[in-house]
Chains A and B, each alone.
Chain A
Amino acid sequence: GQSLEQPSEVTAVEGAIVQINCTYQTSGFYGLSWYQQHDGGAPTFLSYNGLDGLEETGRFSSFLSRSDSYGYLLLQELQMKDSASYFCAVRGAYSGTYKYIFGTGTRLKVLA
C-alpha cells in the first residue's frame, strides 16, 4: 500500500529555520513534491524532487533520499506569512498511471 508520514504541527519563531520531514511507502516512486496551503486557500506547488539531493528555490529547499524513502522541506528566514500547512506528495505508479498521493499535512506556526 501507499502511506506518507509527516508531523502534524511545527512551531518556530520569525527568522528561524525549520525542517518538515516526510517519510513514505509507495508502489514505485517517481517523485516527491511539496505544497503550501494557507487557511481557507488552495494548495500551491512549492518544489519537486525526482532525484536524490537538494533543490533550492529562494528561502525554501527540498531534499530527497530515495534509499531512505525520506524527504524534507527546509524553510529559512521564516516570515509570518509562512504560517500555513505544508503537504508532501509522493508520485507513484497506480493502475498504469502516475499520480500523487498526499500526506495529511504539517501545520507550521510562525511566532513573532
Chain B
Amino acid sequence: NAGVTQTPKFQVLKTGQSMTLQCAQDMNHNSMYWYRQDPGMGLRLIYYSASEGTTDKGEVPNGYNVSRLNKREFSLRLESAAPSQTSVYFCASSPGDGLSSGYGYTFGSGTRLTVV
C-alpha cells in the first residue's frame, strides 16, 4: 500500500544511547517532516526537508539530526538520548510546500520511543 513507512514502531533506549528512526515514502512527495507528539502538546515540528538535498530546523530541533538520503527516505537520529525525548515520533510527507499547495500531509504510523 502506498504511504509513509516508519521503523521501528516501538523502542526503549537507555539515557545516552543513540538510535536512528527510519522513514520512507513511496508517493513521490517532495517534502518530508519529522514531528514529535507529547500529551497535551499537539504535534511539534523537529526538522523538515522541503526537497531532496535540503533540510532545515523546525520548532524543537535540539538533540536531533536528520538526513534526507534520497527523495524517498528521511531519517531522524538521536545522538545521545535523554528522558525528555520520550515521545511518539511521526514522519510525514507532502507533494510540495509551496504557496499553491493545499495538500495535506500523509503521516506514518509513528514510533513510540521511551528513554529510561
Q: Which of A41, A87, A99 has most B Cβ within 10 Å? A: A99
Q: How far is the CB of B42 from chain A (nearest CB, A)?
A: 4
Number of chain A residues whose Cβ lies closer than 8 Å to a Cβ of chain B: 24
User: Size band of the B side of the interface?
Assistant: 20 to 34
Residues of A within 8 A of B101 (CB): 98
- Whether the pair A103, B42 counts as a contact (CB closer than 8 A) is yes
Q: How far is the CB of A21 from chain B (nearest CB, A)?
A: 15
Residues of A within 8 A of B53 (CB): none
* A104→B38 CA distance, assembly (Å): 10
- Whether the pair B43, A102 counts as a contact (CB closer than 8 A) is yes
Residues of B within 8 A of A33 (CB): 104
Residues of B within 8 A of A95 (CB): 56
**Residues of chain A whose beta carbon lies under 8 Å from any beta carbon of chain B:** 30-31, 33, 35, 41-46, 48, 50, 87, 89, 95, 97-105
Q: Report 18 cross-chain contacts, Cβ distance below 8 Å, ordered by A residue.
A: A30-B99, A33-B104, A42-B90, A43-B43, A43-B107, A45-B105, A46-B104, A48-B103, A48-B104, A87-B42, A89-B43, A95-B56, A97-B56, A98-B97, A98-B98, A99-B33, A102-B43, A102-B44
